[in-house]
Amino acid sequence: MSTCEDSDVRADLKRSVMTRVPPLLTDLYQFSMAYAYWRADRHREPAVFELFFRDNPFGGGFSLFAGLNDCLVFLENFAFSDQDVEYLRSVLPANTDPDFFVYLKELDCSSVSVSAVPEGSVVFARVPLLEVSGPLAVVQLLETSLLCLVNYASLVCSNAARFRLAAGPWRRLIEMGLRRAQGPDGGLTASRYTFIGGFDSTSNTLAGRLFGIPVAGTMAHSYVTSFSSLAEVWPQTLTPVGGGSGIDFISQVKGRLSSVCQLLGSKTELIREGELAAFMSFAIAYPHKFLPVIDSYSVSCGLPCFCAVALALCDLKYQPLGVRLDSGDLCRQSLEVRRVFKECSKQFSVPQFESLIIVGTNSISEQSLAELNRKDNEIDVVGVGTHLVTCTRQPSLGCVYKLIEVRGRPRMKLSEDPEKSTLPGRKSVYRLLDTDGHPQMDLICLSDEPVPTAGVSLNCYPLVSETSLQSITPAQVTSLRLDVFTCGQITYPINSASESREQAQISLQMLHPRHKKLQEPHNYTVAVSERLNSLVSDIRRGNNKGSNFLLSN
Amino acid sequence: MSTCEDSDVRADLKRSVMTRVPPLLTDLYQFSMAYAYWRADRHREPAVFELFFRDNPFGGGFSLFAGLNDCLVFLENFAFSDQDVEYLRSVLPANTDPDFFVYLKELDCSSVSVSAVPEGSVVFARVPLLEVSGPLAVVQLLETSLLCLVNYASLVCSNAARFRLAAGPWRRLIEMGLRRAQGPDGGLTASRYTFIGGFDSTSNTLAGRLFGIPVAGTMAHSYVTSFSSLAEVWPQTLTPVGGGSGIDFISQVKGRLSSVCQLLGSKTELIREGELAAFMSFAIAYPHKFLPVIDSYSVSCGLPCFCAVALALCDLKYQPLGVRLDSGDLCRQSLEVRRVFKECSKQFSVPQFESLIIVGTNSISEQSLAELNRKDNEIDVVGVGTHLVTCTRQPSLGCVYKLIEVRGRPRMKLSEDPEKSTLPGRKSVYRLLDTDGHPQMDLICLSDEPVPTAGVSLNCYPLVSETSLQSITPAQVTSLRLDVFTCGQITYPINSASESREQAQISLQMLHPRHKKLQEPHNYTVAVSERLNSLVSDIRRGNNKGSNFLLSN
């Protein structure tokens, strides 16, 4: 991979994309509430929200957290334009106090602070990933935009990690979902976060330019079908690698084609002139990068054409790259293609045919990728689009953003649906590691509790399960969140996509394989401290100052 | 709905959003092919592509076509920046002819023309929706961007139309999926196209400003849980509608609360002071727009609070709007809420309580909406997020863009997968109507065939089905596509979201109910003319000049 731009330029470019998120891109009710807070003179009250999701996606045992960089750039640039404010004036009730709009015009995030899990970390359901504190009205206004920036980024990044696990570590994965994404920005987001999740490259050229992601891609069927005759091949000569005078490439290929058809027992009557012309023309344009799609008509006619052109390239000392298969039973076809490559290698003494690459691209899903590891096949590189970027199995992560504290008092939402209840109060989150260095539990404590000590037993209440008291002695304790935004300033490096990808790989490597199983993974324990558990019980019973029942007060 | 901007400003704004789609937002292989065409001096050859999808989404009988406006604005602005070209130079092979980059710098769509189905039209699988003609390299480069702009727009618009059909015509539908969309732009696209598909409003404020879509929304649970005491209610007085001195609203509500609890047999000990304070405070800020969410703790405590505050508003001659339910069994709860409203109406002589609105919002899917029509309930307005914008049931439409003609010669892709084959040649598409004015068949002809005549029998071959010859006599014949872009100029009005929505409603109304059934709809016939059918057969057999077999030539 190569790019023409240094990382500074790229960072600028990236910011210029990211700052497109205007603060008006939020739900109207945020403004309705902000006005009600302002009207009650509560808008400056210190408040804290936290962002989390309730279930690991795709029935899996983990997720990857992503979207943080976009959130930080969004927060740094948060300000309403005059036009924004005039629009809000037109949709809020006519009797809204005009001073509220003056207030909106002056708003920014200079009083907001955020702590967060680093981008690309392995995370689990119900762990607060982002804690946002600041004036009540401002942190309320941020809700929808932050959710929008984290939800899909984390989902598609986690999906990519699963595809990577399914594919195994050595098979190369190309993301090519732009045409099936939710519009242009959805496509860019998909390319960025699938790379972070473990893909090797993208077909999305803009993502390559903006994020420095390696780009990949050769030809579509339309290229093949656009040719109908050898007369369209131009120029008709190709200079050998070592230099010298151009060789008549058409004659060279035709000679090779007869031998190939003879070797393979192919009927030359089935060779399509247009397909052969397309391959020749592409080889002349890309003699070092020859990798055509060979099933525009059928593999049985595309493969001999490829072999003939590739052999002609070898004759001129070029190294053809391989082929792409885009339909039918990829496993079966790849075996046949490899067999032919080996036969050619032997017959024509071209050892480089042994290492030709076979790319497979045909509605690849996590399941079909996993199958590649079970069935015999010779596919080296897989291109994935639709199922990856749309996250077919579960197209939404369902992150939520919940109020946990106002004016130093813990707040909690109860609900008719128990899983919609929240955990009150400001918290610290610790990842407890076992003696092998594997994460064994995420522990959510109130922020004023002492940090758990390695080697010392502690009591906690696992969430989800039967909430019975459990005792655990961590071998190591790490704090999961960092201060990333303090009083309007980004205090955390805006990582490049490559850096976040590395963080994801490290974080995934630490996780025990039992939690990474794609089917029926072992549950990872997320627990609350005894004190947090007591606070929840108190609030449920109405015994907490923060949740008075009306007449018991 | 009201907006502060006239439609000109809005059109400008909209264009400024749309023109964000840079031409580099495409797959790398488009550039690989463009260079190979350029190298073979084929880049200026006249070529034609068409865009279609292979199956109606969601197992349905139809789709809505959307995204056209975005395509037109994209085409009009298509040009590479110097930085784009420098980036491409860095990723294409080092031996790429430098003159190719000069060519790229000068590229635009001034030689491109497009005919298309109007935005918001009912369309069917395999009908070419967009025909793009121009220089081979340019129309190839447009592929991914056009697909990206049409795919999700049409999918989510069709999904919205299904939700509308499931909800029935009278129930109001609010789109509120921004936080679950594929990032900011995905969210904007969702808001725009679900409105066109039949939703009434959106929670997405920026979509309101940019597209003139009505916006809606009141409060989240966090607003309720942010309050803990009546001391937080400020101001504590409210002026009656007719004017006069402010009334002590807290006392007014407290008085009403006792009566309500007595009437409902509610225990006042279960009323949460914070929830009551939140409702009061919101009512004071929005006395004309009072519609709180009443299940932040439980409906049994939220409902008496609502009634007390709403009654106090009525005392001051305000008209409360209603309530929102966001968890649990919405049907059952809405019946209970309506029963209470009626009891209050009778007991307290407030007839306006009879017409209070009940809004339901809790992971609404097409199925749960359809259930509302089968089960007793009192839900007037439904807010839909995740399942609408992510299109859970089928998160991708799978539009494709296929080469059909080069230099006047028809082109066709055959395939190992028969459904991946394409229809060759430049075409006209006619919608044949029956005597009741319902569409009965879409007929795809070669463009040089005569227009079918109303009242005259014609023969055709239905696609998909058993391809046996069928005879049909249309009562009316309409041409499905219009010229929308001619030699670089948009020649079709850029419709507002409202105009496209109207087009969608008209087009859907014409469609016979049997094709609109959400489950097991009747198949709508898409057929090809006899001449097109012959061309396909010729090419399959290799008898066509455009698809020579190598040695039969």
CB-defined contacts A:B, below 8 A = 456
Total Cβ atoms within 10 A of residue A8 = 8
CATH of domain B167-389: 3.20.20.70
Helix, strand, coil percentages (3-state) for chain A, rounded to 5, are 45, 20, 40
The Cα–Cα gap between A45 and B101 comes to 57
Alpha helices in A168-248 (DSSP H): 183-197, 205-211, 221-225
Total Cβ atoms within 10 A of residue B448 = 10
Total Cβ atoms within 10 A of residue A403 = 26
Q: Look at residue B323 and tell me whether its pLDDT is greater than 90.
A: yes
Shortest distance, CA A47 to any CA of chain B (angstroms): 8
CA atoms within 13 A on the CB side of B519: 4
Q: Of all helices (H) and strands (E), which one includes residue A49?
A: strand A46-53
Q: Name A173's bridge partners.
A: A382
Q: Look at residue B183 and tell me whether its pLDDT is greater than 90.
A: no
| Average pLDDT for runs of 10 along chain A of length 553 | 41 48 92 97 97 96 96 94 96 96 98 98 98 98 95 97 95 95 84 97 94 94 94 96 95 96 90 95 97 94 97 98 95 97 97 97 92 92 96 93 95 76 94 97 97 97 81 97 96 94 97 97 96 91 59 35
Look at residue B542 in the predicted model and tell me its pLDDT. Answer: 72
- Phi then psi for residue B472, to 5 deg, are -145, 145
Cβ contact B33–A223 (<8 Å): yes
Total Cβ atoms within 10 A of residue A514 = 13
Of all residues in chain B, the one with the smallest CA distance to A270 is B549
Structure tokens at B196: 């066109």
- Pinpoint the residues of chain B covered by CATH 3.20.140.10: 7-160+394-552
Shortest distance, CA B461 to any CA of chain A (angstroms): 23
Q: Name A399's bridge partners.
A: A53
Shortest distance, CA B57 to any CA of chain A (angstroms): 13
Cβ contact B178–A27 (<8 Å): yes
Cβ contact A272–B406 (<8 Å): no
Say yes or no: domain A218-360 is CATH 3.30.70.
no
* Beta strands per DSSP E along A463-520: 470-472, 476-479, 482-486, 489-490
Cβ contact A269–B147 (<8 Å): no
The Cα–Cα gap between B324 and A299 comes to 59
Q: Look at residue B10 and tell me whether its pLDDT is greater than 80.
A: no
Which residues does A344 contact at the CB level (< 8 Å), separation at least 6? A260, A263, A307, A311, A350, A353
Look at residue B541 in the predicted model and tell me its pLDDT. Answer: 81
Of A5, A26, A149, nearest to B205 by CB-CB distance is A26
Laid out side by side, the sheet with B381-384 consists of B201-202, B172-175, B381-384, B357-360, B322-325
What letter would DSSP give residue B396? -
Structure tokens at B2: 């009201």
Of all residues in chain A, the one with the smallest CA distance to B402 is A222
Mean pLDDT, rounded, for B168-179: 94
Sign of the Cα pseudo-torsion (B340, B343, B347, B350, in order) = positive
- Pinpoint the residues of chain A covered by CATH 3.20.20: 218-360
Burial class (CB in 10 A: 0-12, 13-18, 19+), A450: exposed
Cβ contact B328–A152 (<8 Å): no
The Cα–Cα gap between A31 and A25 comes to 11
Look up the ipTM and state it: 0.92
The CA R_g of chain A, rounded to the nearest whole Å, is: 29
Sign of the Cα pseudo-torsion (A400, A401, A403, A405, in order) = positive
The Cα–Cα gap between A415 and B275 comes to 13
The Cα–Cα gap between B78 and A380 comes to 36
Look at residue B4 in the predicted model and tell me its pLDDT. Answer: 34
Look at residue B13 in the predicted model and tell me its pLDDT. Answer: 47
Contact (CB, 8 A) for B184 and A223: no
Mean pLDDT, rounded, for B91-101: 96
Of all residues in chain A, the one with the smallest CA distance to B401 is A222
Most A CBs within 10 Å, among B9, B176, B205, to test the A interface? B205
Give the pLDDT band (50/70/90) at residue B453. Answer: very high
B66-77 tens-digit pLDDT: 999 999 999 999
Of all residues in chain B, the one with the smallest CA distance to A420 is B327
| Cα A50 to the center of its chain, rounded Å | 22
The Cα–Cα gap between B116 and B74 comes to 15
Of all residues in chain A, the one with the smallest CA distance to B139 is A222
* Whole-number percent of chain B with pLDDT over 70: 93
Total Cβ atoms within 10 A of residue B457 = 10
Name the amino acid, one letter, at B250. I
Asked, as a colleague might, if the bond just before B235 is cis with ω within 30 of 0, I would say yes
Identify all chain B residues contacting A224, using CB atoms and an 8 Å cutoff: 413
CATH of domain B7-160+394-552: 3.20.140.10
Of all residues in chain B, the one with the smallest CA distance to A143 is B179
CA atoms within 13 A on the CB side of B51: 33
Look at residue A181 in the predicted model and tell me its pLDDT. Answer: 85
Cβ contact B298–A414 (<8 Å): yes
> B95 by DSSP, 3-state: which?
coil
Most A CBs within 10 Å, among B130, B256, B416, B551, to test the A interface? B416
Buried b (16+ CB within 10 A) or exposed e, A221-248: bbbbbbbbbbebbeebebeeeeeeeebe
Cβ contact A229–B553 (<8 Å): yes
The Cα–Cα gap between B238 and B244 comes to 10
- CATH superfamily placement of domain A7-161+394-552: nicotinate phosphoribosyltransferase (3.20.140.10)
Cβ contact A93–B149 (<8 Å): no
Identify all chain B residues contacting A217, using CB atoms and an 8 Å cutoff: 27-30, 32
Name the amino acid, one letter, at A435. T
Look at residue A551 in the predicted model and tell me its pLDDT. Answer: 44
The Cα–Cα gap between A338 and A354 comes to 8
> For every residue of B480-519, which 3-state class applies, written as one string?
CCEEEEECCEECCCCCCHHHHHHHHHHHHHHCCHHHHCCC
* Beta strands per DSSP E along B185-238: 201-202, 237-238
Shortest distance, CA B456 to any CA of chain A (angstroms): 37
Identify all chain B residues contacting A185, using CB atoms and an 8 Å cutoff: 182-186
Look at residue A549 in the predicted model and tell me its pLDDT. Answer: 59
Report CA dihedral (B207, B208, B213, B216) to the nearest 10 degrees: 110
Most B CBs within 10 Å, among A136, A140, A222, to test the B interface? A222
Give the pLDDT band (50/70/90) at residue B2. Answer: very low
- Pinpoint the residues of chain A covered by CATH 3.20.140.10: 7-161+394-552
Identify all chain B residues contacting A190, using CB atoms and an 8 Å cutoff: 182
Contact (CB, 8 A) for B134 and B109: yes
> A24 by DSSP, 3-state: which?
coil
The Cα–Cα gap between B293 and B288 comes to 16
- Pinpoint the residues of chain B covered by CATH 3.20.20.70: 167-389
Contact (CB, 8 A) for A118 and A482: yes
Mean pLDDT, rounded, for B12-19: 46
Look at residue A466 in the predicted model and tell me its pLDDT. Answer: 59
Structure tokens at A313: 């390239």
Cβ contact B93–A398 (<8 Å): no
Q: Look at residue B543 and tell me whether its pLDDT is greater than 90.
A: no
Look at residue B441 in the predicted model and tell me its pLDDT. Answer: 97
Whole-number Cα distances in Å, B166 to A319, B38, B375: 58, 51, 13
The Cα–Cα gap between B284 and A318 comes to 79
Cβ contact B28–A88 (<8 Å): no
Cβ contact B204–A27 (<8 Å): yes
Identify all chain B residues contacting A35, using CB atoms and an 8 Å cutoff: 285
Sign of the Cα pseudo-torsion (A517, A519, A521, A527, in order) = positive
The Cα–Cα gap between B424 and B408 comes to 11
B247-290 tens-digit pLDDT: 999 999 999 999 999 999 988 888 999 999 999 999 999 999 99
Of all residues in chain A, the one with the smallest CA distance to B142 is A179
Strands A357-360 and A322-325: parallel
Give the pLDDT band (50/70/90) at residue B85. Answer: very high
Cβ contact B396–A406 (<8 Å): no
B399-417 tens-digit pLDDT: 999 999 999 999 988 766 7
| Stronger pLDDT, A374 or B500, i.e. the higher one | B500
Whole-number Cα distances in Å, B53 to A2, A223, B63, B152, B422: 35, 20, 10, 12, 11
Shortest distance, CA B552 to any CA of chain A (angstroms): 7
Identify all chain A residues contacting B552, using CB atoms and an 8 Å cutoff: 269
Identify all chain A residues contacting B183, using CB atoms and an 8 Å cutoff: 148-149, 152-153, 182, 185-186, 188-189
Of B25, B225, B409, nearest to A413 by CB-CB distance is B225
Shortest distance, CA A452 to any CA of chain B (angstroms): 30
Cβ contact B269–A551 (<8 Å): yes
Contact (CB, 8 A) for B361 and B334: no
A285-296 tens-digit pLDDT: 999 999 999 999
Cβ contact B40–A281 (<8 Å): yes
* Sequential DSSP letters for A491-505: -S----HHHHHHHHH
The Cα–Cα gap between A33 and A31 comes to 5
Total Cβ atoms within 10 A of residue A373 = 11
Q: Which residue has the tokens 């053809």?
A: A320
Most A CBs within 10 Å, among B7, B28, B544, to test the A interface? B28
Q: Look at residue B147 and tell me whether its pLDDT is greater than 60.
A: yes
